[in-house]
Amino acid sequence: MWVNYAPLVRIYSVSKTVSNMEFCTIASGSSGNCSYIGFGEHQFLLDAGISGKRIENALFQMNVRGISGIFLTHEHRDHITGAGIIARRLKTKIYATPMTWRFFAMEKSLGALDAWQINVIEPGKPMDMGGVTVTAFDISHDAAQPVGYTFESAGKKIACATDLGCVTDTVKIHLKNSQVILLESNHDPDMLKNGPYNYRIKKRVAGEKGNL
């Protein structure tokens, strides 16, 4: 089965403890977002906005058989569609901010999860994932408590900041000193202005809590 994902990028480290850093965009866009991040034996998903089957197929093609955790940026469907499914299938944890989990609880967005799979990450507070430090940071977007993430180990850093309405000083600080940066820019101002969307959607997309 053909899967639309970018080639796996390997950035080799001189560290003896973490032999390499890997990044792959599995899906991107309004139809779904999902990326793979690997540091040696530690593998993570950033968002899971496509079907569990597509995610599993992409991981299989990359020879990835397990995931150490799923980190969700916010609650919009194109970022969470397959999160609950893949967490149950791979028996892994999900990480999200407090207000995002509150939304999930109210809307039952992820389906049934075991208590150990529900994990809160606070923006600005680094979390140790067995030698990989994961930090969430605040971003501007129209969601409950949206964040970007950095993943660091052995002097290597990947920064991810999608669905930005604007670039804040906080975002700039967390992007510094990264070997890989994932950014999203999803519209052209002139095309948006002259396009078919109604005024409300145009205002949302172009606003400081919309998208770059």
Assess if residue 202 is contained within a domain. Answer: no
pLDDT for residue 30? 80
- pLDDT tens across 39-90, in order? 988 999 999 999 999 999 999 999 998 999 999 999 999 999 999 999 999 9
pLDDT for residue 31? 87
The more confidently predicted of residues 151 and 162 is 151
- Nearest Cα to 212, choosing from 194, 195, 196, 189? 189
pTM comes to: 0.84
User: Within 13 Å, how many C-alpha atoms sit on residue 66's CB side?
Assistant: 7
pLDDT for residue 10? 45
For the chain, give the percent of residues with pLDDT over 90. 66
Assess if residue 197 is contained within a domain. Answer: no
**What's the CA gap between 167 and 98, in Å, rounded?**
23
Assess if residue 200 is contained within a domain. Answer: no
Binning pLDDT at 50, 70 and 90, where does residue 197 land?
Answer: confident
**What's the CA gap between 174 and 3, in Å, rounded?**
31
CATH code, 106: 3.60.15.10
Q: What are the tokens at 190?
A: 């002139």
Measured over the CA atoms of residue 198, residue 212, residue 10 and residue 94, the dihedral's sign is: negative
Assess if residue 22 is contained within a domain. Answer: yes
The range of the structural domain enclosing residue 145 comes to 9-186
Grouping H, G, I as helix, E, B as strand and the rest as coil, residue 149 is strand
Minimum mean pLDDT range among 23-27, 100-104, 143-147, 160-164: 160-164
Assess if residue 206 is contained within a domain. Answer: no
Assess if residue 210 is contained within a domain. Answer: no
Number of domains in the chain: 1
Assess if residue 50 is contained within a domain. Answer: yes
